[in-house]
C-alpha cells in the first residue's frame, strides 16, 4: 500500500502566511471604476467608506496575483503580433489613470492599443481571468450580459480616454484559452454610471439593501454581508464616523473640529469616533451634536461614553441575551 501524503505541510502554510503578512492596505482612497457596475449601491458605499476589512486568505491573495501576472503576458502576446500597446503613462511611468469628483472616483487602464486587424482605431484594453464555467458563459452571451461590472468599467474607461472602442481579453485559468470581444462606447450608460458614482460618494448614509434575503446570490458572496444583515459593526476609521464627509475637492473633512483629514489620519482608530447611526443595528433614541454622542436605547456612544471600538462587545451581549435594550 503506498504511503499517504502528509496532511500538514508547514512550508506551504508559510507561503500562504507570507501573502497575508505582505498584503497591501485594502483601503483604496477612491471609489474604483471596477466597482461601479455592481448593482448593489449599498455594497459600493460600504467599500468606499472602508466599512469591512476583506480578510482574504493567503491562497486567495496568491490567486489575485496570478490574475495580475496575466496582464503583462497578454501585453507581450499583443506586441508579438505587431499590436502597439501603451500600458504606461509616459509622463509618470505608471498606469494610465483618470479621475472625477476631485479624485473620489477613479480608475487605471490596463492599456491602450492600436494596429488591430479588425480596426485601425485606438482601443482601450482590459485584461481579466476567469474560471472555465464563467469563460464558457462569456463566449456564449458576451461581456454585457455575463460580466456587467466589467462592461461598466470598460465603458467608463473609454469615456475618460476619449475613445469609442475597447478590446476586452479574458484568459481561462483552467485551459489558458483567450476570449476577445470588441466593445463600442455606450454614452448613455456612462452618464448613468457617473450619476451613480456621484450619488454614492456624497451620500451620508448607505443606500437601501438590494435584498433582505441573505441567501440571495448578490448577498451570499458579498464581503459586507455580516455588516448588512447581522449584528456586525463596521471597521472603526474616519470614513465610518458620523463627523466625516467627502468634499467636492477630493478631500475628507471632520465636521467636529473643521479640519481636513489626510489619508493617514482617515485610517486611525480614534477615541472620538462615533459610528454613522445607520451602521449600528440598534434603534437610535437620542443625539447630542454638541457633546458628539448618539444614544441607542440605553447605550450612549460618543466621547466620554462607550467607545465605538467597544460597541461590538455590547452587541454581542445583546445577541446572547446578557443585555436588554
pLDDT digits (tens, 9 = 90+) for 114-170: 999 999 999 999 999 999 999 999 999 999 999 999 999 999 999 999 999 999 999
> Using the 8-state DSSP alphabet, how is residue 7 labeled?
S
Global pTM value? 0.91
Please write the tens of the pLDDT for every residue from 202-212.
999 999 889 98
Measured between alpha carbons, how far is 198 from 192 in angstroms, rounded to an integer? 10
Please write the tens of the pLDDT for every residue from 188-245.
999 999 999 999 999 999 998 899 888 888 899 899 999 999 878 999 999 999 999 9
Measured between alpha carbons, how far is 256 from 290 in angstroms, rounded to an integer? 9
Segment 30-48 mean pLDDT: 97
Q: Which residues contact 62 (CB under 8 A, 6 or more apart)?
A: 15, 16, 19
Measured between alpha carbons, how far is 153 from 33 in angstroms, rounded to an integer? 5
Sequence ranges of the chain with CATH classification 3.90.320.10: 10-201
**Alpha carbon of residue 165 to chain centroid:** 25
Instruction: State which fold the 10-201 domain adopts.
Output: Lambda Exonuclease; Chain A (3.90.320)
Give residue 2's pLDDT band: very low, low, confident or very high (50, 70, 90): low
- pLDDT over 70, % of the chain: 95
> Is the pLDDT assigned to residue 63 strictly greater than 80?
yes
> Is the pLDDT assigned to residue 9 strictly greater than 80?
no
Measured between alpha carbons, how far is 190 from 238 in angstroms, rounded to an integer? 30
Residue 284 pairs in a beta bridge with 296
Measured between alpha carbons, how far is 58 from 41 in angstroms, rounded to an integer? 28
Helices (H), 109-262: 132-141, 143-146, 148-161, 187-201, 217-220, 225-229
User: What per-residue confidence (pLDDT) applies to 65?
Assistant: 92
> Is the pLDDT assigned to residue 267 strictly greater than 70?
yes
Give residue 305's pLDDT band: very low, low, confident or very high (50, 70, 90): confident
**Whose grid coordinates read 468599467?**
153
Amino acid at each position: 500500500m503506498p504511503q499517504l501524503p502528509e496532511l500538514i505541510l508547514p512550508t506551504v502554510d508559510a507561503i500562504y502566511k507570507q501573502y497575508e503578512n505582505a498584503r497591501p492596505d485594502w483601503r483604496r482612497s477612491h471609489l474604483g471604476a471596477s466597482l461601479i457596475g455592481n448593482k448593489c449601491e449599498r455594497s459600493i458605499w460600504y467599500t468606499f467608506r472602508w466599512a469591512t476589512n476583506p480578510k482574504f486568505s493567503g491562497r486567495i491573495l496568491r490567486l489575485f496575483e496570478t490574475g495580475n501576472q496575466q496582464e503583462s503576458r497578454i501585453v507581450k502576446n499583443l506586441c508579438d503580433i505587431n499590436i502597439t500597446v501603451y500600458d504606461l503613462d509616459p509622463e509618470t511611468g505608471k498606469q494610465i489613470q483618470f479621475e472625477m469628483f476631485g479624485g473620489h472616483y477613479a480608475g487605471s487602464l490596463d492599456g491602450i492599443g492600436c494596429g488591430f486587424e479588425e480596426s485601425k482605431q485606438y482601443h482601450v484594453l482590459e485584461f481579466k481571468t476567469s474560471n472555465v464555467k464563467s469563460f464558457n458563459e462569456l463566449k456564449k452571451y458576451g461581456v454585457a450580459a455575463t460580466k456587467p461590472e466589467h462592461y461598466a468599467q470598460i465603458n467608463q474607461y473609454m469615456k475618460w480616454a476619449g475613445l469609442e472602442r475597447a478590446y476586452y481579453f479574458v484568459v481561462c485559468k483552467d485551459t489558458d484559452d483567450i476570449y476577445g470581444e470588441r466593445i463600442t462606447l455606450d454614452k448613455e450608460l456612462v452618464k448613468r454610471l457617473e450619476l451613480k458614482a456621484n450619488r454614492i460618494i456624497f451620500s451620508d448614509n448607505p443606500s437601501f439593501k438590494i435584498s433582505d434575503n441573505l441567501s440571495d446570490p448578490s448577498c451570499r458572496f458579498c464581503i459586507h454581508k455580516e455588516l448588512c444583515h447581522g449584528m456586525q459593526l463596521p471597521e472603526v476609521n474616519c470614513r465610518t464616523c458620523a463627523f466625516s464627509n467627502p468634499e467636492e475637492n477630493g478631500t475628507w473633512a471632520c465636521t467636529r473640529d473643521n479640519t481636513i483629514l489626510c489619508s493617514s489620519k482617515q485610517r486611525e482608530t480614534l477615541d472620538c469616533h462615533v459610528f454613522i447611526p445607520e451602521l449600528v443595528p440598534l434603534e437610535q433614541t437620542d443625539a447630542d451634536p454638541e457633546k458628539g454622542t448618539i444614544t441607542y436605547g440605553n447605550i450612549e456612544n460618543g466621547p466620554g461614553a462607550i467607545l465605538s471600538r467597544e460597541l461590538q462587545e455590547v452587541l454581542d451581549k445583546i445577541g446572547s441575551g446578557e443585555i436588554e435594550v
